[in-house]
A and B are shown apart, each in its own frame.
Chain A
Amino acid sequence: EADIYQTPRYLVIGTGKKITLECSQTMGHDKMYWYQQDPGMELHLIHYSYGVNSTEKGDLSSESTVSRIRTEHFPLTLESARPSHTSQYLCASSGANYGYTFGSGTRLTVV
């Protein structure tokens, strides 16, 4: 079944730690995205990729970085987590048509 997977679902981590949020999709989509979702619901694009070896920053400035070494994999890394990074992170992908498919998200808490 074609889908998009995010791990972990929940993560509580101490300040200063390095973390990587995983995102994988089985649909063969070229385009992938990371959104940050505020507690108040708004979705903000922080990174996107058009394909392998392509990464771009989104509208919302983020201290995170991403990589796209394989089509199906788009991990997000925070080198040194801070409480201000506490949020929900949503990964999505899209193919040749208009539709975006979202993962279930990673809820990150930095203490």
Chain B
Amino acid sequence: QQQVKQSPQSLIVQKGGISIINCAYENTAFDYFPWYQQFPGKGPALLIAIRPDVSEKKEGRFTISFNKSAKQFSLHIMDSQPGDSATYFCAASKGPGANNLFFGTGTRLTVIP
């Protein structure tokens, strides 16, 4: 049973465009929602994360939007660059240092020049 549903599976965006990746969850006990970025041959690296007490968090060109009532959150990459081409995972967990971080299935982003 997939705890976190992620879409789309793949995404192609023109350089300078906006990339949007969506995730949904069911477990209302989740209280931490990170996004990870993974380049080929590397492990996932934490990109940005949000707690449910805020509806939006922005770090540079990356923004998380969080809708607690809809149990959905999304990653927006503004002014997408070819260097952003990677696989992106959303995730959710219950509490700090939880024994499990539930990952989405991943989105392979390609930014074309």
Contacts and interface: CB of A to CB of B under 8 A. Distances in A.
Interface of A: 6, 30-31, 33, 40-43, 45, 48, 50, 56, 58-59, 90, 92, 94-105
B43 A90 contact: yes
Nearest to A49: B99
B42 interface: yes
B41 interface: yes
A102 B97 contact: no
Interface residues of B, number: 23
B34 A98 contact: yes
Interface of B: 32, 34, 36, 41-46, 49, 87, 89, 93, 96-101, 103, 105-106, 108
Contact of B46 (A31, A99, A104, A105): A99
A94 B91 CA distance: 15
A98 B43 contact: no
B43 A97 contact: no
Given A41-B105, A42-B105, A98-B49, A105 B99 contact: no
Most chain A CB atoms below 10 A, which of B36, B42, B99: B99
Contacts of B32: 98
Given A42-B103, A99-B46, A104 B41 contact: yes
B74 to A, nearest CB: 18
A33 to B, nearest CB: 8
B42 A105 contact: yes
Given A41-B105, A42-B105, A31 B97 contact: yes
Contacts of B100: 45, 48, 58-59
A6 B43 CA distance: 10
Closest 6 CB pairs of A and B: A102-B43, A41-B106, A43-B103, A98-B32, A98-B96, A102-B44
